[in-house]
Amino acid sequence: MEKSKMTLDVNERPPVAKWLILSLQHVFAMFGATILVPILVNSAAGSEVLPIPVALVASGIGTLIYILCTKGKSPVYLGSSFAFIVPIAAAYAKGGIAGAMTGVIAVGLIYVIVATIIHFIGKNWLDKLLPPVVIGPMIMIIGLSLAPSAISQIGITDGAVFEWKTLLVAVVSFLATAIVMTRARGFLKIIPFLVGIITGYICACIVGIVDFTPIKEAAFFSLPHFVFPFISYTPSFASLITIAPIALVTLCEHIGDHISLSNIIGKDLIKDPGLDRTLLGDGVATIAAGLIGGPANTTYGENTSVVGMTKVASVWVIGLAAIMAIIIGFLGKFTAFVSTIPNPVLGGVSLLLYGFIGINGLKVLIKNQTDFENPKNVIVASTMLVLGLGGAVIAINSGDLSVTISGMSLAAIIGILLNLVLSNREEVLEEIPVEILSASELEKGTKSESKKTDKKKVSGKENKKATVKKEVKKEITKKASTPKKKDTKTSSKKVGRPKKTNTK
């Protein structure tokens, strides 16, 4: 893998002042999505299943656990997973908080089991399972599938009422981020996302679209409402089948995000620290989240794109961001302040964040010179893109079983299967024994040469066939056995005499 030029590499630590600002940038990047998951779950369930402060603390603790499991070699931030919004709400409806949290813990255990299996059987099989033609579209879908979210935040979707204030704030946020990325120098160049948010927030305050009420009502310090098994509830397995199967789907998301980050930082994270360690970190982090009443964790594409945009891959920065998230979970005023950032601000900077991930997937295809003259590659990539971006959903509902596979997860599964089922001609030839392959390819090549010769010398159809048969037989005989020196001389003498006679 080609090494990227990082301003700060994975194991490098920035000076304290810069360290704080860079980490705060990651907090802003993950904050909106992390708190949105509990908001949507609570809305779907009609009750407070996942408190927002608990989700923040769970993401911070989970990220620190992940860093420990991966030996500080992977700059990944873990946040609340959107894939579990509907399953957690459904599990809560069936088994209450006990059913929901038992399901989240089970998901983490599945990750740990899969990580253990990979640890013992190895991971070389991943190269065959995930070639560039699958990886590229997978990464593109991760970024581009988030595009509607950015457009929705800006407020320029079909049917939305046009508001010049929101559009102005989004444009200012976008331009501030873009200008810093392209024109700024020094430290300012590596915090474009934070500059864009601050500039956009100031603009939002000027045009009057910021509501400061949550800040006034929030307490300075508040203890998150944690729930613990055997203390707050007794584990219940009644809703287990509703949540657990989703883990098999989000495995594809985990792999896709790590491959995307690998290409950004120029290090193959699938091999070092290894998929077994990254899955272990993700799994233990999700178990920890479930033990305190938080949502399942997952790798965050928003923070991955921040790494790519800033060229700062320092795991120290990610670690401090995790600590900040834990602290924020206890600070009511700060949580309320961040929650007042208007959607147009986040939408403006997200245009670059989400697009960056999509472009990185395209770079994978270009760097590996993926041949799209090959029908197999066209079928795999096009099918994945249409399924991933077209809103395809497969829902399985049977009794207590409720599984929904959609978006990137569905595209990844179908792409992997198509790549394994469809075979290139070269792949077929590789499986043919050498002896058969030699004769087959020799016959094909000889026929081709014979046809060229026949066009010049012979006009009759029967003569062409006869000539081809003779040439093929002659070449195969030469390939099968090498004539002795004595026989060669004898043969050349016998052949030489008739030629001499014919000339006369």
Name the token pair of 197.
């948010």
Closest to 200 measured CA to CA, from 235, 153, 239, 237: 153
Of 1, 2, 3, 8, give the one whose Cα is nearest residue 306: 8
Residues 6+ apart with CB under 8 A from 467: 450, 453, 454, 458
Please list the residues that pair with 312 across neighbouring strands: 8
User: For every one of its 504 residues, what pLDDT tens digit does the chain have, with 9 covering 90 and above?
Assistant: 545 578 899 999 999 999 999 999 999 888 877 887 887 788 778 788 998 899 999 999 999 999 999 999 999 999 988 778 777 888 898 889 999 999 999 999 999 998 999 999 877 776 777 788 988 888 788 778 778 878 888 888 887 778 899 999 999 999 998 999 888 887 777 788 888 889 999 999 999 999 999 888 888 898 999 999 999 999 988 777 778 777 766 787 788 789 889 988 989 998 899 999 999 999 999 999 999 999 999 888 778 888 988 899 999 999 999 999 999 999 988 878 877 888 899 889 888 877 877 887 888 899 888 999 999 999 999 999 999 888 888 877 766 656 667 777 788 889 989 999 986 655 544 444 544 444 445 455 445 555 444 444 444 545 555 555 556 556 555 555 555 444 444 444 444 444 444 443
For 362, residues 6+ apart whose C-beta sits below 8 A from its C-beta are 136, 140
96, 47 contact by CB (below 8 A): no
Give 158-186 as a 3 state SS string.
CCCCCCHHHHHHHHHHHHHHHHHHHHCCH
Question: What is the rounded distance in angstroms from the CA atom of residue 211 to the CA atom of residue 94?
Answer: 37
